[in-house]
Homo-oligomer: A and B are copies of this chain.
Amino acid sequence: MKNKLALEGTRVLDLTHVLSGPYCTMLLADMGAEVIKIEKHGEYDRKAIPLIKGESYFYMVLNRNKKSITLNLKHEKGVEILKQLTAKSDVVVENFRPGVMEKLGIGYDILKKVNPKIIFASISGYGQNSRYSNRAAYDLTAQALSGVMAMTGDPNGPPMRCGFDVGDIIPAIYTAFSIVTAICARMNTGVGQMIDVSMIDSLILCQPDQFTTTKVTGKAPERAECGGHIVAFPYDAFQTRDDWIAIGCWGDPMFARLADLIKMPELVEDPKFITEEGRCANRSELRKFIEKWVSNLTAAEAISLLLDNGIGGAEVYNYKQVLESAQVKDRDLVKRMVHPVAGEVDVPGIAPKFSETPGDVRKPSPLLGEHNKEIYTGLLQYSKEQVKKFEKEGVI
């Protein structure tokens, strides 16, 4: 069983570019789906910096395990070929602005006539049917419009974005979940379907704390001091004698242990700090006590004391420290692949660990059109002469 891949036998046509779409199809490819990336001149991120021997590292990371074919979707024959591929595939994924696929003549309504079992997934900023669907959207605008930026940063400073691209990554994983769910559904219903994922919606709906607080109070929560949590304190970063650490305390019993640890057991009897609400309301005052305690310790000492006393504590690692951490080693989080141009490159590994059908980095990202021969003469059974003609005519 170990040699089988989870999504073996699932063929995905990948019309995506940049981050959200490629990350989604990467998850499918890592799990064994045959992902055929369709480009004409190479998608935007083939040139994204940093480069290794002229190859975009970012592109290489996001497109490992995939195949690449060139195909001109603005050419009549290109559209016909895409339909032929659709007839032989399970999934189409795209992240153009809404309307682009229709304009190209390959919208869901057309492709489902070609293959009623096709699962057609679209990732877009606002979704297919919002009054704003035509607006361009980026991770940043998704973070802004979903309330994420309003909650990130310090109340005395500007609203900030989360330090990574949650506006792309969360909808990407959501879409991968949705595609596989639709594959399960197809076993019951016999038909495919359209899946419409919006970057903004995805972020709006994954903030249950903000949702419930706003609905109950009628007011939006405001950013907490130092970017802390709105319903718990301490739950942020503190400066030790050497490095920053995170101290996470959740609930009254844990706070009692923290008060003991910092040798201020009287805090748990102080009405200001007795409840979680009180600790949040009086966090500036409480912060000073914790800062004082932690400032006399090294990060390692403080974390050790916190953990020994059943309180959340952790190093605030920068990404270099992350890559050097024991966690990355123990969990095999970095994989090496050999790229035909860039050579040996390390890429992020596989997050979910499967016992029977583990995902893996099996192949490097493809060169542009690397799989033209395999797909056009193999899968679609065109003659070599016909393929040469396609090349000359700018179809592929």
Contacts and interface: CB of A to CB of B under 8 A. Distances in A.
A326 interface: yes
A204 B160 contact: no
Nearest to A132: B327
Interface centre among A178, A236, A326 (most CB of B within 10 A): A178
A130 to B, nearest CB: 4
Interface centre among A19, A136, A183, A196 (most CB of B within 10 A): A136
A392 to B, nearest CB: 30
Contacts of A328: 204
Interface stretch (A70-78, A213-221, A364-372): A213-221
A8 B182 CA distance: 11
A352 B157 contact: no
A209 B165 CA distance: 9
Nearest to A135: B307
| Category for how many chain A residues contact B | 35 or more
Contacts of A62: 208
A164 B170 CA distance: 12
Interface in A293-328: 307, 310, 312-323, 325-328
A331 B188 contact: no
A352 B197 contact: yes
A195 B195 CA distance: 25
Contacts of A245: 144
A115 interface: no
Interface centre among A160, A170, A171 (most CB of B within 10 A): A160
23 contacts: A4-B185, A7-B185, A49-B277, A131-B330, A140-B229, A140-B246, A140-B248, A144-B314, A145-B317, A149-B316, A153-B153, A154-B154, A157-B226, A158-B236, A159-B316, A162-B163, A173-B174, A177-B177, A182-B354, A184-B184, A195-B353, A201-B327, A222-B318
A101 interface: no
Contact of A211 (B170, B313, B348): B348
Contacts of A37: none
Contact of A318 (B135, B150, B320): B150
A356 to B, nearest CB: 4
A351 B174 CA distance: 8
B246 A214 contact: no
B191 A356 contact: yes
A66 to B, nearest CB: 15
Interface string A213-239: 111111111110011110100011111
Nearest to A10: B184
Interface string A1-32: 10011111110000000010001000100010
A380 interface: no
A359 B200 CA distance: 18
B154 A157 contact: yes
Interface centre among A150, A181, A228, A356 (most CB of B within 10 A): A181
B319 A141 contact: no
Nearest to A246: B144
A252 to B, nearest CB: 11
B331 A198 contact: yes
A193 interface: yes
Contacts of A197: 351-353
B331 A129 contact: yes
